[in-house]
Every structure is written in C-alpha cells, then in structure tokens.
Structure 1
Amino acid sequence: MLWSYVQLDDGTQFAYSETRDDGTVRVAVERPVDFGFDHAECFLPAVKWFNVEGFSTDELDFLTEFV
C-alpha cells in the first residue's frame, strides 16, 4: 500500500510505502500527461530508479534531490 506524500504545481505526485522488512521504503512518482501518466519508482535510501516511463535524466535528477 502507498500513501500520498506531496503534489507539485505541475501535478506530479509522490507516494510512499511503509518501511519494508529490509529497511527500505518504496517511492512512486506519477505525472499526468495526455492519455495517461509518466511514472517512476525507487527504493530509499539507495534512490535507484526503476519502472521509469516518460521522465528524462534531468527530471530524474530533480526527483532524486527532492526525495
């Protein structure tokens, strides 16, 4: 289960999970676009992005700084 954390002015939303058994937290990011969403996920504290669709490298750098 994910809980909503914050929504940015452009509609990008961040959600997070409870702390998992291995001590990590899953973070999911979605941004509305025509006919769907851009999406990316990572685990904290490592912040290695996976399931990335629609976010550029520069945008992922911003997301990394944000989380």
Structure 2
Amino acid sequence: MMYPFMTLNDETEIVHSDMQNDGRVKVYIERPDEKYGFKHAACWLPDYTWEDIYHFSEEEIKQFEEIIRSTAHLIIEFSQEGGFENASNL
C-alpha cells in the first residue's frame, strides 16, 4: 500500500509504502508532464537507493533527496503506522 506524504507547489506528489519485512520503505515521486505523461522515481529508505528514474534530471533527484533526507524520520514512522492520517488519528 502507498500513502500520501507531500505535494509540492509544482504538483510533484511524494508517497511512501508500508515498512517492508526487511525494514525498507519505498518513497515514490511523480510529477505530471505534458511531454512524458508523468516523470517518476523511487527511493528506498533507509539507504537512499534510487531506482526507476524516468525523465527527472540529476539536479531534480538531488533536490528530492534533500527533501527525503530532511523528512525520512517522519516517513519511516508513518510507514509503520499506516500513513500520516493513521499516525495523526485523523
């Protein structure tokens, strides 16, 4: 299951998975794009391994990694609680 985490001003969506049995959490990023449909990429926590990068530049990936690194503690916590809405009792 994937849970919404953050929407950036440019319509980039950041979502995350439940924590896997091996302790990893998948963070998935996508942005609508007129030319490609959607740009997307996935980053695995806690080791910040990137995969499936589709039409994001190296600079964009660096910016996303900064966002993910600054919020990783929250993403990991929420991944164990069923997402932000469950963790915050909304």
Relative to the length of structure 1, the TM-score reads: 0.95
State the identity as a percent. 36
Runs of 4+ residues over 6 Å off in structure 1: none
Aligned residues: 67
Q: Which runs of 5+ in 1 are unaligned?
A: none
What amino acid sits opposite 1:60 in the alignment? I
The root-mean-square deviation of aligned C-alpha atoms, in Å, is 0.8
Structure 1 partner of 2:39: 38
Structure 2 partner of 1:14: 14
| Higher-helix-fraction structure | 2
Relative to the length of structure 2, the TM-score reads: 0.72
Give the distance between the partners of 2:66 and 2:2, measured in 1 at CA: 20
Structure 2 partner of 1:28: 28
Q: Which runs of 5+ in 2 are unaligned?
A: 69-90
Q: How far has the Cα of 1:42 moved from its partner? A: 1.2
Give the distance between the partners of 2:25 and 2:49, measured in 1 at CA: 12
The structure showing larger relative contact order (alpha-carbon pairs under 8 Å, at least 6 residues apart) is 2
Higher gyration radius (CA): 2
